[in-house]
């Protein structure tokens, strides 16, 4: 097996996971905050709200936002975000799309964008804004227009048409916007009197995107993908339609209803909660299989060189996957080279030192999937199926970069996307490790000073601290009756 030691490697013994170089990562993110991103980011110009979110949220997770910025600066960031708000509800994704300088005819090509609206609201929360300037009623109305008849959400609305393909990422962002603006409760919003989105239709749509192997895709029959799987699971949490907790023993009735078929197939003829006596269709028809699929994303194939078949025992395949490969007996060897290398196989398996996650079956590991899969498992109440140490070592010794931040693969230069999701994954691993060793309450109450990174809310992908600010905001809006609040997490 070939394993590249990246330049940032600080080797540690298998039992003591390396520490996170917070200073270095903070420097990376402060550069992103204070100087222009290089022109290589031009292809991401239409995702500036996303880049802004990564920057602000990363600094928050590192506890480096407030110490390194003045209140005036933070107020100016907030102003910038609001300058991207569309009067008819929602946010645009970049000032590059802003046509508001032209009085008429401009609205058509400068629509609000669903992911940008989630990222804008989340960043406002992190910056401590009270969301007072958010056009709440308009945004709720617009959000409803973003949902298709089949329950899925689009990205943007142009000329009355929902655009942006079928994609559970939009469903995830939409449910998060809905959650921030009106909590989990279904039905018309009591304060604005805006109608709710069609929650049942979304659940049905997500269930249909389950794949034969237990993962989820963007639409029926597409390949299972960790990003889409996370988005579906998190969306189900935001709308409170996740299956009953797997850990607690469900009653027979609950068990039956987790497995309830889609309404079109007959058994659940109607979905309004009254008619079902308060029982609602829930997502994920086979939670155990989904956990199986997520756990299968762990892989020791962490660099593209690992994809080559270094044992030469499968001459007919261009790519191979080392998972378990180093441990499984091969019955017959197509080549004598394969046999020789099998016999000279090392007895201790350094493949176990670094373990990453891939996004699809038989693919190489990639930093970002440490978040998509790790967070998915956390939300499935199954983070304990990961051994945190080798994943930490993979992130800190293989994909962390010497200048700070994370790259996609070992040795890759850092980029904003992988750098944020690398940190987010580390925060979840920290929480999981604490849960395993120390606190029965998943380490949530552990004081910030004792943690490396702030604890992340796996669902909203911001610090639990930032998410908690919603409580007061909901009270002010009068949308909170005490039942919705799950204490974050």
Partner 1 sequence: MSDYSDADSNADSFEPRLTSGEPTPEPQPTRVDNAIADATIERLKVALKTVCQENAQAKEIVSRILLGTLPGSNGSLKRKRYETCAHCEEEYSVEENEKGDCVYHPGRLAVQYGCLSRVSLMSSIGRKRIDVGSDTWADHDDEVHGDPETLMDEPGFMEGFMWDCCRRNGREEEDASGSDPTWADLTPLPTDEGSSTHPLAQIAYSPDYEETMSYLRALMAANELSPRALELTEDLIDMNPAHYTVWLYRSKILFALESDLYEELEWLNETALAHQKNYQIWHHRNLIIDKLGSCEGEAEFVGRMLERDAKNYHVWSYRQWLVRRFNLWEAGELEFTEKMLKEDVRNNSAWNHRWFVVNGKVAAMGVGDPKIRAREIRVAEEAIKKVAQNQSPWNYLRGIVKRCGLPLAELKGIAEQYASLEHPHSVRSSFALDLLAEILAEEEGGKEQAGRALDLLATRYDPVRKNYWAYRKSQLGMGELKQAVNVIA
Site for partner 1 in 134-163 (CB under 8 A): 155-156, 158, 163
CA distance 26 to 62: 7
CA distance 62 to 54: 12
> Three-state SS for 456?
strand
Residues 308-337 that bind Zn ion (CB under 5 A): 309, 311, 313-314, 320
Residues whose CB falls within 8 Å of the CB of residue 181, separated by 6 or more in sequence, listed in order: 121, 134, 136, 139, 140, 143, 479
Asked if 370 is part of the footprint of partner 1 (rule: CB under 8 A), the reply reads no
Among 60, 366, 415, 457, binds Zn ion (CB under 5 A): 366
- Residue 366's binding partner among partner 1, Zn ion, none (Cβ under 5 to 8 angstroms by kind) is Zn ion
Asked if 407 is part of the footprint of partner 1 (rule: CB under 8 A), the reply reads no
Compute the least distance from the CB of residue 137 to partner 1, in Å: 22
Residues 216-275 that bind partner 1 (CB under 8 A): 218, 220-225
- Residue 368's binding partner among Zn ion, partner 1, none (Cβ under 5 to 8 angstroms by kind) is Zn ion
Site string for partner 1, 272-311 (x = CB under 8 A): --------------x--x-----xx-xxx-----------
H helices present in 83-167, as ranges: 114-126, 136-145
Of 199 and 386, which has the nearer Cβ to partner 1?
A: 386
Q: Are residues 240 and 184 in contact, defined by beta-carbon separation less than 8 angstroms?
A: yes
Among 102, 256, 337, 448, binds partner 1 (CB under 8 A): 102
Of 366 and 457, which has the nearer Cβ to Zn ion?
A: 366
CA 439 to chain centre: 24
Angle at Cα 367 formed by Cα 365 and Cα 371, nearest 5°? 110
Among 89, 111, 283, 404, binds partner 1 (CB under 8 A): 111
| DSSP per-residue letters across 304-361 | HHHHS-TT---TT-S----TTTTTSPPS--SSHHHHHHHHT--SS-GGGT--EE-SST
CA distance 13 to 33: 35
Q: Residues in contact with partner 1, total (CB under 8 A)? A: 97
Nearest to 59 by CA among 94, 21, 33, 38: 33
Among 3, 260, 352, 403, binds partner 1 (CB under 8 A): 352
Among 23, 255, 345, 349, binds partner 1 (CB under 8 A): 349
Token look-up 């004081």 returns 447
Asked if 335 is part of the footprint of partner 1 (rule: CB under 8 A), the reply reads no
Candidates 171-179, 357-365, 457-465, 469-477; binding stretch for partner 1 (CB under 8 A): 357-365
CA distance 261 to 248: 22
Token look-up 């991207």 returns 84
Compute the least distance from the CB of residue 322 to Zn ion, in Å: 7
The pair of structure tokens assigned to 1 is: 């097996």
Of 84 and 466, which has the nearer Cβ to partner 1?
A: 84
Compute the least distance from the CB of residue 480 to partner 1, in Å: 29
């Amino acid at each position: 097996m070939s394993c590249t030691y990246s330049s940032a490697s600080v080797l540690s013994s298998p039992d003591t996971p390396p520490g996170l170089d917070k200073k270095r990562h903070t420097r990376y993110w402060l550069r992103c905050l204070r100087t222009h991103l290089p022109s290589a980011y031009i292809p991401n110009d239409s995702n500036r709200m996303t880049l802004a979110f990564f920057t602000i949220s990363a600094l928050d997770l590192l506890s480096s936002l407030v110490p390194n910025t003045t209140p005036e600066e933070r107020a100016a960031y907030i102003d910038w975000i609001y300058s991207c708000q569309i009067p008819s509800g929602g946010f645009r994704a970049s000032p590059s799309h802003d046509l508001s300088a032209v009085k008429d005819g401009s609205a058509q090509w400068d629509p609000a964008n669903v992911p940008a609206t989630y990222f804008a609201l989340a960043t406002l929360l992190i910056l401590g804004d009270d969301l007072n300037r958010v056009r709440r009623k308009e945004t709720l109305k617009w959000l409803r227009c973003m949902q298709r008849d089949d329950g899925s959400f689009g990205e943007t609305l142009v000329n009355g048409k929902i655009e942006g393909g079928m994609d559970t990422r939009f469903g995830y962002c939409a449910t998060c916007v809905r959650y921030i603006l009106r909590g989990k409760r279904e039905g018309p919003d009591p304060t604005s009197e805006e109608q709710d989105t069609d929650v049942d239709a979304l659940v049905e749509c997500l269930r249909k995107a389950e794949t034969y192997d237990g993962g989820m895709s963007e639409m029926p029959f597409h390949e299972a993908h960790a990003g889409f799987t996370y988005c579906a699971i998190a969306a189900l949490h935001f709308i409170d339609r996740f299956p009953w907790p797997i850990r607690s023993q469900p009653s027979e009735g609950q068990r039956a209803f987790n497995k309830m078929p889609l309404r079109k197939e007959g058994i659940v003829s109607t979905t309004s909660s009254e008619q079902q006596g308060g029982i609602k269709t829930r997502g994920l028809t086979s939670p155990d299989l989904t956990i199986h699929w997520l756990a299968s994303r762990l892989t020791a194939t962490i660099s593209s060189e690992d994809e080559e078949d270094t044992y030469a025992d499968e001459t007919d395949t261009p790519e191979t996957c080392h998972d378990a490969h180093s441990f499984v007996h091969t019955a017959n060897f197509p080549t004598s080279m394969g046999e020789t290398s099998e016999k000279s196989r090392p007895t201790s398996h350094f493949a176990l030192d670094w373990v990453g996650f891939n996004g699809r079956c038989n693919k190489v590991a990639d930093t970002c999937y440490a978040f998509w899969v790790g967070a998915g498992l956390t939300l499935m109440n199954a983070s304990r199926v990961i051994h945190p140490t080798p994943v930490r070592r993979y992130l800190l010794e293989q994909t962390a970069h010497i200048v700070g931040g994370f790259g996609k693969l070992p040795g890759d230069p850092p980029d904003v996307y992988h750098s944020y999701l690398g940190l987010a994954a580390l925060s979840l691993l920290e929480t999981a490790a604490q849960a395993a060793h120390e606190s029965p309450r998943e380490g949530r109450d552990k004081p910030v000073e004792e943690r490396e990174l702030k604890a992340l809310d796996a669902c909203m992908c911001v610090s639990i601290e930032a998410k908690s600010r919603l409580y007061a905001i909901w009270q002010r809006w009068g949308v909170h009756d005490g039942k919705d609040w799950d204490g974050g997490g």
